[in-house]
Amino acid sequence: MHDFIVLAPACGSGNFLYIAYRELKRLEARLFERMAEKSGRLDPAQMMFGFVTARQFFGIDINPFAVELAKVTMMIARKLAIDELHITEKALPLDNLDDNFTAADALIDELANPVQWPPADVIIGNPPFAGAKLLKPERGPDYVNAVRRAYPEIPGMADYCVYWFRKAHGHLRPCTADDPLSDRAGLVGTQNIRNNQSRVGGLDYVVQNGTIIEAVDNQPWSGEANVHVSIVNWIKTVAPELLPSQRRLWYKVDPPSTVKSTPPRADDSSTKGFELNFRQCKHINSSLSDGVDVSGARTLQTNREPQRVFQGVTPGHAGFVLSPEEMVNLVKKDSSSAGVIHPYLVGEEMLKADGKPKRFVIDFGRLSMLDSGFPEQLHMI
């Protein structure tokens, strides 16, 4: 048996590690209580030897001041646990955590090589929120190019936090029957981790040999950042005997229609309020849904050979789009215009309506300026 190790590779001031330490100490205290209940021989006044210590928690952060705060946070966590749980551990001496916390970039070192994280059974945290388009302005092109060279398997259009999801899953060992409670991760990411290239670079990789057991599909971030986030907890195994039979998928609940909403003030923190609910499901896919799994979608061969543009007509100006009444009036005035007026249907109208056009579009197709009659109309003007 080895010590149970928890790692936060973007630890900030240590909030996630503090919560993890507190919860593990609560579990430890409950185990001692049950041992006393079962044996009937343990003296409550007897000093218990604490198995969970701050030395089992590791953190990495690029901000040296945040790292020092994280060390203090974990020292305070020990004292708070002693007071809360009334355990008989001594608060002093303080643990020396200099070897547990590192001030460094969690992705690349000074030579732009991938950073080796310390061994861990569980990885937690909230990596930096930054979209692919904002990354270069914030971190600079040299850094971004170096990160992409170090992790070529991650698409360039993936959000910054995706690197942590991919690296965390690759860093964990496979969960086994001999050690069924380890090799798990729980990370907060931008809500875009469910979509497009961010999903391809991160969660698609996770579910190849891992299983998402609990997730929040999309919720407002409770902090100052104006961003929506997704939360993902997963285990690095697909073995049914090591997994819960049900997964838990959380989602944001819309307020009742009877509730009147007031315009939020810019300085009002209550505008971040929301309510979550969850449903039990048998599977959560990489889109953080229990519905259709889009990760297996493939480009249709008909969209490759022959290569054509299948988007259809996109009017460049609203003036080219006509209502049925406008179409009828225009044809009455000029019957020849009927040859360049066509039904305008998009996918939503084909799927949700009766299939009959509700709009029409003026489209001259491949007609030249002369064939279209424009010069004559301009002359008339």
At 115-166, the pLDDT tens digits run 999 999 999 999 998 888 888 899 999 999 999 999 999 999 999 999 999 9
Q: How confident is the model at residue 5 (pLDDT cuts 50, 70, 90)?
A: very high
What pLDDT score does 339 carry? 86
Respond yes or no on whether the N-terminal peptide bond of residue 220 is cis (omega within 30° of 0). Answer: no
Residue range 278-306: mean pLDDT, rounded = 84
Which tokens belong to 255? 């307020």
At 47-99, the pLDDT tens digits run 555 688 899 999 999 999 999 999 999 999 988 988 888 777 777 777 889 99
Strands 6-8 and 122-125: parallel
Indicate whether 379 pLDDT > 70: no
Contact at 8 Å (CB) between 186 and 121?
no
What pLDDT score does 381 carry? 36
Residue with tokens 């959560």, as numbered in its chain: 284
Task: Please choose, from the candidates 161, 81, 179, the residue with its C-alpha nearest in 3D space to the C-alpha of residue 122.
Answer: 179
Helix/strand/coil for 239: coil
Domains of the chain, start order: 6-296 (3.40.50.150), 318-380 (no CATH)
Beta bridge partner(s), residue 226 = none
Respond yes or no on whether the N-terminal peptide bond of residue 324 is cis (omega within 30° of 0). Answer: no
Residue with tokens 């919560």, as numbered in its chain: 19
Task: Please choose, from the candidates 18, 168, 4, the residue with its C-alpha nearest in 3D space to the C-alpha of residue 84.
Answer: 18
Q: Which amino acid is at 122?
A: V
More confident residue, 378 or 363: 363
* Pick from 93-102, 163-172, 182-191, 291-300: least confident: 291-300
Contact at 8 Å (CB) between 104 and 116?
no
Burial class, 203, CB count within 10 angstroms (exposed 0-12 / middle 13-18 / buried 19+): buried
- The Cα angle at residue 343 between residues 340 and 349, in degrees rounded to 5: 160
DSSP type of residue 81: H
Contact at 8 Å (CB) between 251 and 308?
no
| Mean residue pLDDT across the chain | 85
**Residue partners of 326: CB distance under 8 A and separation at least 6:** 360
Q: How confident is the model at residue 168 (pLDDT cuts 50, 70, 90)?
A: very high
Helix/strand/coil for 184: strand
Residue range 301-310: mean pLDDT, rounded = 70
What pLDDT score does 132 carry? 85
DSSP type of residue 284: -
Q: Is 211 left (phi over 0), alpha (psi -120 to 50) or beta?
A: beta
Give percent of the chain above pLDDT 70: 86
Residue with tokens 């990760």, as numbered in its chain: 295
More confident residue, 202 or 37: 202
> In angstroms, rounded to a whole number, what is the distance separating the alpha carbons of residues 320 and 363?
8
More confident residue, 286 or 85: 286
Give the DSSP H or E segment for 135.
Answer: helix 132-139
Considering the entire predicted model, what is its pTM? 0.74
DSSP type of residue 297: -
